[in-house]
């Protein structure tokens, strides 16, 4: 892939983040109650100890700060989603020499982005995401693709990279924009039962 000047490059080395050791979920609930009573957590978690406990449990298993999980995990249409920023952060925690590479001419459908990183001495390269791909997949129904295409390319490229090389860090959650696009596709999909009913009425 022809590479334009790398943007958002980082050479942040791998690092370990220490978190409190919990004997079981009861400990997470105790900590969650403290967060729920704090005015520093995001509004969605205020007064919700159970939600905070789940965030604390996730943070423990991922080796990150509970507050980071609360700030970067949100719910869209009932589906938990990581922010694009969080996804790239997880990748940088797991690998070294992580780079966000842009290709093609800015402002055209050929504009693209892919993530590269190193796992020890192994060079890794994620799938290239382009504006043409976004159009073909119907992602432009999300207005962010029109208003901030460079950012969305990086976020989606990060999601593709993570699902191939470190799917465990996402813990089964979507990444920013994916849940909205899935919901939009589901809303626009034809109803097979309605079609079958129409055919039955026509035969009668």
Angle among Cα 123, 128, 133 to the nearest 5 degrees reads 170
HSE, CB side, 13 Å, CA atoms: give it for residue 174: 16
What is the per-residue pLDDT across 119-157, written as a single tens digit (0 to 9) for each?
999 999 999 999 999 999 999 888 899 999 999 999 999
Residue 172: which residues within 8 A CB-CB, separation 6 or more?
none
> How far lies 94's CA from each of 62, 91, 105, in Å?
11, 5, 30
| Closest alpha carbon to 11 in 88, 102, 118 | 118
pLDDT of residue 25: 78
Q: Indicate if the pLDDT at residue 65 is higher than 80.
A: yes
| Secondary structure tally for the chain: helices H, strands E | 9, 7
pLDDT of residue 20: 46
**For residue 61, what pLDDT band results from cuts at 50, 70 and 90?**
confident
What's this model's pTM, rounded to 2 decimal places? 0.69
Q: Tell me the sheet residues that pair with 79.
A: 76
Angle among Cα 111, 173, 124 to the nearest 5 degrees reads 50
């Amino acid at each position: 892939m022809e590479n334009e000047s790398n943007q958002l490059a980082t050479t942040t080395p791998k690092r370990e983040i220490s978190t409190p050791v919990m004997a079981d979920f009861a400990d997470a609930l105790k900590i969650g109650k403290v967060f729920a009573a704090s005015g520093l957590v995001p509004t969605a978690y205020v007064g919700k100890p159970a939600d905070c406990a789940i965030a604390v449990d996730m943070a423990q298993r991922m080796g990150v700060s509970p507050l980071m999980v609360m700030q970067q995990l949100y719910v869209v249409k009932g589906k938990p989603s990581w922010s694009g920023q969080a996804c790239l952060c997880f990748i940088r925690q797991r690998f070294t020499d992580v780079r966000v590479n842009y290709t093609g001419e800015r402002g055209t459908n050929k504009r693209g982005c892919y993530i590269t990183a190193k796992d020890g001495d192994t060079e890794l390269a994620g799938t290239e995401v382009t504006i043409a791909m976004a159009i073909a997949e119907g992602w432009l129904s999300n207005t962010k693709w029109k208003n901030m295409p460079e950012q969305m390319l990086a976020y989606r490229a990060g999601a593709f990279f993570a699902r191939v090389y470190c799917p465990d860090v996402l813990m089964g959650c979507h990444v920013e924009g994916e849940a909205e696009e899935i919901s939009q596709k589901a809303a626009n999909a034809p109803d097979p039962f309605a079609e079958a009913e129409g055919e039955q009425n026509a035969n009668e």
